[in-house]
């Protein structure tokens, strides 16, 4: 989404990245590349207490939506309110594609937000190819992740096939996820 917006010369206030602290190394490197390549203010936000604290407090998040989803939403809404106090014309953009119109519709009912990829008619597949064509390959993670959905490495929403792929490509992350939660989402 960001690359397409930059290419279309759309005005962008800032790039906001929510850091769960549990990102794949490939995604961490991708974020550093974006920071180096794109000359737009880059803002990292995270939960004030951190996901480690929240995990100890609430236990493993539930696959249907748990404290991790709520924490991310709350932090991003707080940041959005802070920015919009200074500049009420700013509208946040979320990278949902036409494949995710149903999600966008639910979000749109909650607050003003824009979905450029839906406006542009882009699918998840076309967006990934767009990134690849411009040298952003996410360290190859989409080549080995079966679902082509990448979130934090211990996400409870991952399929068994994704968990198996993580175990194969990043056994060190499985050990971390197991240690963090006792068992979390990494059991087979």
The answer to whether 83 touches 66, Cβ cutoff 8 Å, is: no
Tell me the pLDDT of the chain (188 aa) as tens digits. 999 999 999 999 999 999 988 899 999 999 999 999 999 999 999 999 988 898 889 888 887 777 888 898 899 889 988 988 998 888 889 999 999 888 888 777 667 789 999 999 999 999 999 999 999 999 999 999 998 878 888 888 888 899 899 999 999 888 666 655 444 443 33
C-alpha 177/C-alpha 23 separation (Å) is: 11
Give the H/E segment covering residue 40: none
Global pTM reads 0.84
51 sits in which H/E element: helix 51-58
The answer to whether residue 130 sits within a structural domain is: yes
Note down the domain range covering 79.
Answer: 2-139
In a domain, 74, yes or no: yes
In a domain, 151, yes or no: no
Alpha-carbon span 123 to 89, nearest angstrom:
28
What's the domain count of the chain?
1
Tell me if 15 is assigned to some domain: yes
Q: Supply the pLDDT for residue 16.
A: 93
pLDDT of residue 104: 82
Q: Is the residue at 174 inside a domain?
A: no
Domain assignment present for 122: yes
181 in a structural domain: no
**What is the b/e burial string over 61-78, where b = at least 16 CB atoms within 10 angstroms of the residue's CB?**
beeeebbbeebbeebeee
Q: Is residue 152 part of a domain?
A: no
Phi-psi region of 66 (alpha: psi -120 to 50; beta: other; left: phi over 0): beta
What distance lies between CA 144 and its chain's CA centroid?
18
């Amino acid at each position: 989404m960001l690359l397409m917006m930059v290419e279309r010369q759309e005005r962008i206030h800032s790039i906001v990245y929510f850091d769960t602290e549990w990102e794949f190394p490939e995604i961490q490197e991708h974020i550093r590349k974006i920071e180096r390549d794109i000359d737009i203010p880059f803002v990292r936000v995270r939960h004030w207490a951190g996901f480690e604290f929240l995990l100890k407090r609430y236990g493993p998040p539930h696959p249907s939506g748990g404290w991790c989803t709520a924490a991310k939403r709350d932090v991003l809404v707080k940041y959005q309110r802070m920015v919009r106090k200074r500049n009420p014309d700013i509208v946040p953009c979320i990278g949902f594609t036409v494949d995710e119109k149903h999600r966008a519709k639910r979000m749109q009912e909650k607050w003003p937000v824009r979905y450029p990829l839906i406006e542009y008619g882009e699918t998840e597949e076309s967006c990934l190819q767009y990134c690849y064509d411009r040298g952003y390959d996410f360290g190859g993670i989409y080549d080995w992740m079966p679902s082509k959905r990448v979130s934090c490495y211990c996400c409870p929403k991952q399929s068994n096939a994704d968990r198996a792929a993580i175990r194969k490509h990043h056994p060190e992350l499985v050990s971390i996820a197991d240690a963090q939660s006792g068992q979390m989402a990494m059991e087979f």
